[in-house]
Structure 1
Amino acid sequence: MTSPYSQHGFRAGFDWGPAGAAAVPGSLVAVVDVLSFTTAVTVAVDCGIEVFPYRWRDETAVAYAEQLDAVLAVGRSQQGITLSPDSIRQAQGVQRLVLPSPNGSTISQQLSDSGATVLAVSLHNTSAAADWAAAQLAQDPTLTVVAIAAGERWTDGSLRPAVEDLWGAGAFLAALADRGVTPLSPEARAAAAAYREVAGELPELLYDCAGGRELTEYGFPQDVAVAAEVDSSRLVPLLQACRLSASSKPSRFCPVT
């Protein structure tokens, strides 16, 4: 029997975290982690950098990066390339980047063997991602799309729904609806409605939400500013052969600040 949690029968769905990604299958799955994994991915791809998702920053990640002849992102408090999108913009001569994160990166890696086409979506590229996904859906009426908001973690390891990821997923789903992709599941409609409610107040609300305040208090307000660059990218990072790379060539050079 079909699971009641699968949102079966709808063209577009929505759920949260790794468990939601497992429960709600889709032909196309948009992973949304606005602060900061999918924003970092979008910035990297705009810079012509291939991103390799990885769950943890540990010894196995070091070996994985060496195997790929790639740079391993370090912790935010360290010098070098980190999960900070701003640090990626300042990088020089990097072609491949192993980017660990416990949320968006973990979900992307989890989905790599699912048979779904996985795309990285942030506020940076919601319109481009919706254009691309709507075109795929128009070509094949059997395809479905799901947006997965990565969320964050409380100290006990449980999921903390992050409103910035709800907005990012909702922006993508609202854009799909505007392009004629229907029907949306009740969950997807709720996410789209949440985005439409605040769309006119971004980027200001991104600074005021818990995730934005957290990054600002930790000394990374520029990462919030980068994440708030709505529709600044026309590229859609797709997960292919364990790497996230652009569906087309980078449209601009990576700016150095």
Structure 2
Amino acid sequence: MEWGPTGAEVVPADYAVVVDVLSFTTTLSVAVERAIEVFPFRWKDSRAAEHAMRHGATLAVGRFEALSRGDARHVSLSPASLAEVDGIERLVLPSPNGSAISFALADSGAQVVGACLRNAAAVARWLAPQVADGASVVVVPAGERWHDDTLRPAVEDLWGAGAVLTALDAEAEASASPEARMAMAAWQAAVLPHDLLHCAGGRELGGAGFVADVEIAARSDVSEVVPVLVGESFRDAADPAPPAPRLRRVGD
């Protein structure tokens, strides 16, 4: 387990599980449940609209931009917003944390997986056979950003990482690093939904009128989807099955 975009780059693994509970990977899980293909992209990149046009996709806007427009047809990073739109098959979903990390990892050689509290057990079940065959896994809690763009560790992402790792340990009896074991201990100490609603990130969203997003994110193991990055987009691992990455061996 290692934090943020830098951590994702410095820990090579066969599978990279990105966790951004509030809200990229939660929104991703909701989208994939609705059979929406999701394209991650860098946050506030001027080329996002061009990227969406190239893929025939809808470009999600920021939460506050969607709120200011007062139009439910505008999809945002808010997972609750996806319940209010119809007819979307492809979605470009930028975010400063989870989406940006996923986009950066696309060419790393790792199979990128999106996990949150909603699908932690499903992700672990999917990973277990790969781990049993010798694959390595890095779980990347995305964290948030301070105003100077430095990493702000987010406890909700630590819980999400711990939820995946706890379930994976139960499924595959995997060998966990000390950092991974500390994430597992943090998850076992969490009380949902109370803690998610009252942690710093939850309070910020709730105070801005997005309590529903936090409540959706707090629903543990209600989803069976496993979003995997195939090419430039996330799809459910079951449709279609992505190619397995080449396992790294000692000396690679």
| TM-score (normalizing by structure 2) | 0.90
TM-superposed CA distance for 1:249, in Å, is 4.8
Contact residue 28 and residue 118 of structure 1 kept, 8 A: yes
What secondary structure does 2:47 align onto? helix
Provide the rounded CA distance (Å) in 2 between the counterparts of 1:48 and 1:22. Answer: 29
From 68, 71, 74, the equivalent of 2:61 is 74
Determine the structure 1 residue equivalent to 2:210: 220
Provide the rounded CA distance (Å) in 2 between the counterparts of 1:150 and 1:217. Answer: 22
After TM superposition, list the pairs within 5 Å mapping 1:142-157 onto structure 2. 143-157=135-149
TM-superposed CA distance for 1:75, in Å, is 1.6
What secondary structure does 1:182 align onto? coil
Provide the rounded CA distance (Å) in 2 between the counterparts of 1:219 and 1:203. Answer: 17
What secondary structure does 2:186 align onto? helix
Letter in 2 for 1:202: L
Does residue 180 in structure 1 map to residue 167 in structure 2? no
What secondary structure does 2:85 align onto? coil
TM-superposed CA distance for 1:58, in Å, is 4.0
Letter in 1 for 2:184: A
Does residue 51 in structure 1 map to residue 51 in structure 2? no
Q: Name stretches of at least 5 consecutive residues in structure 2 with no aligned partner.
A: 241-252
What secondary structure does 1:97 align onto? strand
After TM superposition, list the pairs within 5 Å mapping 1:52-201 onto structure 2. 52-77=39-64, 78=66, 79=71, 80-138=74-132, 140-141=133-134, 143-198=135-190, 201=191
Determine the structure 2 residue equivalent to 1:19: 6
Contact residue 47 and residue 89 of structure 1 kept, 8 A: no
Contact residue 141 and residue 157 of structure 2 kept, 8 A: yes
| TM-score (normalizing by structure 1) | 0.88
Measured on the aligned residues, the alpha-carbon RMSD in Å equals 1.2
TM-superposed CA distance for 1:240, in Å, is 0.4
Deviations 1:160-192 (A, max 9, x none): 000000000000001111123321001111111
Provide the rounded CA distance (Å) in 1 between the counterparts of 2:239 and 2:200. Answer: 35
Aligned identity (percent) is 52
Provide the rounded CA distance (Å) in 1 between the counterparts of 2:175 and 2:239. Answer: 32
TM-superposed CA distance for 1:57, in Å, is 3.1
Provide the rounded CA distance (Å) in 2 between the counterparts of 1:182 and 1:67. Answer: 41
Provide the rounded CA distance (Å) in 1 between the counterparts of 2:174 and 2:223. Answer: 25
Count of residue correspondences: 233
Mean alpha-carbon deviation: is it higher for 174-183 or for 47-56?
174-183
Provide the rounded CA distance (Å) in 1 between the counterparts of 2:188 and 2:32. Answer: 27
Letter in 2 for 1:162: A
